[in-house]
Amino acid sequence: MGLNLDEQKAVDRFRKEVVEPSRDSLVILDFWAEWCGPCKRLAPTIDALATDYAGKVTIGKLNVDENPGTASKFQIRGIPAVLLFKDGAVVESVVGLAPKEEFTKCIEKHL
């Protein structure tokens, strides 16, 4: 069975906003949900990283409840989950609540 129109739009948007930009620079995607307490606690860290790496790294958020197909494609089984994309592929992931320093080390490794 093929993709329905909404699924195809989601795939196209993901390709345009994550995969294609990752060919030129590092893209970080935070998989989260509104009901997730650890996700809410991680949000300020993700926001701080976006500020620290503005112009060097693209950082986005993906709500797993609104985008279950994308979460499934990347085998997201626990949230928060942060994936780092480079050259169109996932190069690293951090699952669970982690300190800013852990994310900084991952980012610096791939810049």
Residues annotated as catalytic (active site), given as ranges: 36, 39
The answer to whether 6 and 69 are in contact (CB under 8 A) is no
Q: Which two tokens stand for residue 17?
A: 């906003």
The amino acid that residue 39 corresponds to is: C
Write the single-letter amino acid at 70.
Answer: T
Whole-number Å distance between alpha carbons of 80 and 64: 10
Bridge partners, 91 (sequence order)? none
- Nearest CA-CA partner of 67 in 33, 35, 38: 33
